[in-house]
Structure 1
Amino acid sequence: MSADATVLYDAPGPRARARNAAVAVAFVLVLGAVAAWVIARLAGRGQFDADMWRPFITASTWTVYILPGLWGTIKAAAVSIIAALVLGALLGIGRLSDHRWVRWICGAFTEGFRAIPVLLLILFTYYLYAQYGLVPPSQLAFASVITGLTLYNGTVIAEILRSGIKSLPRGQAEAATALGLRKSQQMRLVLLPQAVTAMLPALVSQMVIALKDSALGYMIGYIEVVRSGIMSASFYGNYIPALIVVALVMIIINFSLTAFATRLERRLRSGKRGAVEAVEPEVADA
């Protein structure tokens, strides 16, 4: 078997590689043609005229519209991500509990809220808070967005952590038990650090999803970057350029978050390798 083969499929031969290359070239050409057609239609309607883009080189557009909306997006995403991490850790550990009733409650909570769309959770909590006066009116939209994002992303993170812990070799838990560690100590000192490192890419992907889903607050009047971009467009009459600018802002934020997580994961893995290499000489000397 070729070194490039996997357990799922064999490495492609010369004809398969040529066919794949031809399909890739054809796809790129079709995609380029569609993009050129869209750009030409937009240009024909004056969407790329200088007047359409001039508002974005003035400070008032950013201070009045874009930056306040961006702050709302980052604030909602940051609070909901932190709360979702806490909720996900509790639910994920609870699903691995030795007590059946704890596993049942955490499992039912996780599977239930994971199956509900985020928008439905936001709308439900919005009307629940409004009807019973649980939240001040000035914070109603913000609290609803936070609650919906936390419930959904927390349950997804719980499954990520649970699967990450279950994927660890059984010898890790057995060695911790042999050392006399309690179940809580095993989870906190041995299993969770390894699981978080292994599942960090999936956790970051969920954080990016939470950041993007904060735009759903538009439906209940929450001021985030998409809503502020549309408000700017309604004032200046440049909807397409405004949405392009908003999309670029979101791309930059998500790319920065992913790059930070990749660097953090690399440092964590290199730190563990350094610790193992430091221990090996001591074992050899013994």
Structure 2
Amino acid sequence: MTAAAPSASALYDIPGPKARSRHRLYGVLALLAIAGLLAWIGYELVSTGQFSYAKWNPFQYVGIQELLWHGLLNTLKAFGLTVLFALPFGALFAAGRLSEHRVVRWLSTLVVEFFRAMPLLVMIFFIFVAMKVQPLWALVAGLTLYNGSVLAEVFRAGVRAVPRGQQEAAFALGMRKTQVMASVLVPQANRAMLPSIISQLVVALKDTSLGFLITYEEFLHAGKLIATNLDYDLPFIPVVMVIAPVYIGMCLLLSWLAHWVERRGRRSPRVRGGAPMATAGPGMGLPPEVRGQD
């Protein structure tokens, strides 16, 4: 038997030795460029005294630490309330867009498309200024309307992605529309929807930083108060270097969760147990009277 030839890509040929050498060279050059950029940024920070004791000393104060901690808790509070309201909002209007009633479908489409197209900051300011809502609830309302509308499209697309034969088979068994949706379509679409849902939650978490524009005392607002306080020698860059890794860490945690869910969704469910399969024979699949004549 001849050895199986390596499978070629449909998009490009398998790179040869020279092409692989060029790719390695490009990778090394890219790493050197990134290292040089980071070194230049570090040099500029050191040369401008951003790591001096005077600029980092304020973070030792208990009041500064409590201010940052309070801001972080407020950020998580706004994010938690947004998730609590945005998910039901998205599910409700996704069901409306999938409704067989034309009026319900049109109204749901109008709501979803309007809040998806409306700039988030405009919605937050309108709710805060025109409707005179408290900063926390103005921020949560704006985030809920925008992210809930996006999630409605995610839910609708996930349900539509299920093969149509699944729905037709369920209707053939006598199931109602609600039963088909709850027992057949949504469970199958759940795997495809979860990574996109979590990715949208990352966006919602980052958008909570818009709360400082309406004086909501969240994490970024706390950093702004520290950086603009003249008694602390304007430690703007150190404040950014403290706040940014926290935001990045929270977003990376949610992104990692999305990738983990996606990897688990790609795995085929394993069937455990069951009756052993019979060994195939020459008479398998034939009627008994025909097998008796063999």
Q: CA offset at residue 100 of structure 1?
A: 1.6
The 1:36/1:87 distance shift into structure 2, 3 A limit, reads same
Aligned counterpart, 2:68:
66
1:233 aligns with 2:227: yes
**Distance 1:108-1:32 versus aligned 2 partners, 3 A rule:** same
Amino acid at match of 2:63: S
Across the aligned residues of Structure 1 and Structure 2, the Cα RMSD in angstroms comes to 2.6
1:140-219 paired onto structure 2 within 5 Å: 140-219=134-213
TM-fit CA distance, 1:249:
0.9
Among 245, 251, 256, the residue aligned to 2:253? 256
Which residue in the other structure is 2:12 paired with?
10
Seen in structure 2, the aligned counterparts of structure 1 residues 84 and 2 have a Cα distance that, compared at 3 Å, is farther
Q: CA deviation at 1:66?
A: 0.6
Whether contact under 8 Å (2:198, 2:257) holds in the other structure is no
Distance of aligned partners of 1:175 and 1:17 in 2 relative to their CA distance in 1, 3 Å threshold: farther
The aligned amino acid for 1:81 is V
Q: CA deviation at 1:167?
A: 0.9
The structure with the largest alpha-carbon Rg is 2
Equivalent of 1:246 in 243, 247, 251:
243
Aligned positions, number = 270
Deviation of 1:216 after TM superposition, in Å, equals 0.7
The one-letter amino acid of 2:59's match is F
- Does residue 273 (structure 1) correspond to residue 269 (structure 2)? The answer is yes
Q: 1:75, 1:11 → 2: CA distance?
A: 52
Alpha-carbon offset, residue 27 of structure 1: 3.2
In structure 2, distance between residues paired with 1:104 and 1:225: 39
Match of 1:81 in 2: 83
CA–CA separation in structure 2 for the residues paired with 1:175 and 1:78: 39
Pair 36,108 (structure 1): closer, same or farther in 2 beyond 3 Å: same
Which residue identity is paired with 1:145?
A: L
- Residues in 2 aligned to 1:24 and 1:67: alpha-carbon distance in whole angstroms: 41
Any conservation in 1 of the 2:199–2:254 contact (CA below 8 Å)?
no
Residues 1:52 and 1:265: Cα distance change in structure 2 (over 3 Å):
same
TM-score (norm 1): 0.84
The alpha-carbon deviation at position 151 of structure 1 amounts to 0.7
**Unpaired runs of 5+ in structure 1?**
none
Structure with higher helix content: 1
Larger RCO (CA under 8 A, 6+ residues apart): 1
In structure 1, the residue matched to 2:31 is 28
Report the secondary structure of 1:273's partner residue.
coil
**Is the Cα–Cα contact under 8 Å of residues 72 and 225 in structure 1 kept in the other structure?**
yes
Matched, 1:222 2:224: no
* TM-score, normalised via structure 2 length: 0.82
Match of 1:129 in 2: 131
SS at match of 2:155: helix
Letter in 1 for 2:274: P
- Cα distance, 1:201 vs. partner? 1.1
Name 1:39's counterpart in structure 2: 42
Q: Please report how far the alpha carbon of residue 4 of structure 1 lies from its aligned counterpart in structure 2 after TM superposition.
A: 6.4
Q: 2 CA distance for matches of 1:240 and 1:158?
A: 39
Which segments of 5 or more consecutive residues in structure 2 lack a partner in the other structure? Answer: 279-294
In the alignment, is the contact (CA less than 8 A) between 1:97 and 1:103 conserved in 2?
yes
